[in-house]
Chain A
């Protein structure tokens, strides 16, 4: 297949256009992805997540520089939110990364969430596979600015970076479940601002509590690290990258059992997710084409039938292919 060949050769135009097809859920996509899959597994995937405005894009830009200085190639997936009202989106993360635009070994792609929750897009895994198959050494996945439980990126990335700034992650926030639990490396960005010691201490305590509650084999896992950066000035980003490499070496070295367990859970989730979205996509398509949804609403208004009954009825008929 021509598309597969071109993507494997690293052809930017073909890759860029195929990524659009993934995003738009075009019918031919899974056939191409099937053929690309055997050529994936080379790239090391780094997830970057955190609240809006903490400096994720700037940090990504700096990591690109460090990776390029080492002569490695890099793909970047940058995610911004879709407007729930119009379905449109402004994808502006590139502004901070545009200095790499002319470097053929840097491929940056902006994606819109399109209603997908969890900080990523429905297409992210596929796009990662495309960049991997293109031969990128590193892939950086920058999530949409997230809140407390958008943690999907940990299922895509080898190393997950949680970016914070001084004044965030106070005592109470830090012990809540969610985003802080998925970090392999905590990056305190804008570390020249006041309150940085307090933030570092709070995260440190959280990590220690987390470790002390671990039992048995979980104890052999990775202990999250805290790094300080001033991404805008490039301060601490080399050290951060070195720490990512330490994490990588751990995952593929002494932590290999821990990594395998993590990978199994991730692959399981991914497969489930794929099945779910395919079933769901198919059913919703049928439902929307059939006009049954409006018919059901009619019953709700005219015949006073409750939505729970209507829902059960529709599902029943979808399952029996009556819709």
Chain B
């Protein structure tokens, strides 16, 4: 039996077209030994959750820069619940007003990483907090 690998979906919802951050994170996760599914720009929460379900990821890392984060994160969390996969952990990164971070955490987002967070710190958080799912 080989060791379970952590699988992560890096998702880019909303209307902004900047996925440099998402790509850097995807690359850093790969180099940390995780399997990273990247679905590209302009994804709806519906598309993100469908991909997370089919790909059986342990975590979704969502990057949002365009200001619709409160809706996008809430909707994603609702859909995860609706599909019966609320064990998939949602995290986020991007640009948010200070006061929204608490709201995002309160609604069920497990961690928010603001610009400037060292990549090593994010990877350490994943290693400490994400456990690959047990087998069926």
Q: Is the pair B38, A90 in contact by a Cβ cutoff of 8 Å?
A: yes
Q: CB-nearest residue of chain A relative to B41?
A: A95
* Residue A269 is within 8 A (CB to CB) of chain B in the complex: no
Whole-angstrom distance between the Cβ of B132 and the nearest chain A Cβ = 8
A95-B40 in contact (CB<8A) = yes
A100-108, A208-216, A299-307 - interface stretch: A100-108
Q: Interface residue tally of chain B, by bracket?
A: 35 or more
B60 within 8 A of A: no
- Residues on A with C-beta less than 8 A from B47 are 98, 101-102
The smallest C-beta distance from A299 to any residue of chain B, in angstroms, reads 27
B53 and A112 within 8 A (CB): no
The reply to whether A88 and B36 form a contact with Cβ atoms under 8 Å apart is yes
CB distance from A94 to the nearest CB of B (A): 5
User: Of A16, A88, A94, A107, which one neighbours B35 at CB under 8 angstroms?
Assistant: A88
Q: Do B53 and A98 touch (CB < 8 A)?
A: no
B2 pairs with A25, CB closer than 8 A? yes
Q: Contact check: which of A18, A92, A108, A110 meets B136 at CB < 8 Å? A: A18
Residues of A within 8 A of B83 (CB): 13
Evaluate contact between B27 and A90: CB separation under 8 angstroms.
yes
Kindly identify which residue among A24, A108, A112 contacts B54, using a CB–CB cutoff of 8 Å: A108
CA distance A285 to B136 in the complex (A): 22
Most chain B Cβ neighbours within 10 Å, of A3, A14, A17, A110? A110
Complex contact B2–A91 (CB within 8 A): no
Q: Which residues of B contact A82 (CB under 8 A)?
A: 35
Does A223 have its Cβ within 8 Å of any Cβ on chain B?
no
Cβ of B122 within 8 Å of any chain A Cβ, yes or no, is no
The answer to the question of B84 belonging to the interface, with a C-beta cut-off of 8 Å to chain A, is yes
Q: Which residues of chain A come closer than 8 Å to B32, judged between CB atoms?
A: 86, 88
CB of B1 within 8 A of CB of A91, answer no
Distance in Å from the Cβ of B1 to the closest Cβ of chain A? 5
Given A14-B136, A83-B31, A88-B34: A285 touches B43 (CB 8 Å cut-off):
no
Residues of B close to A98: CB separation below 8 A:
39-40, 43, 47, 51
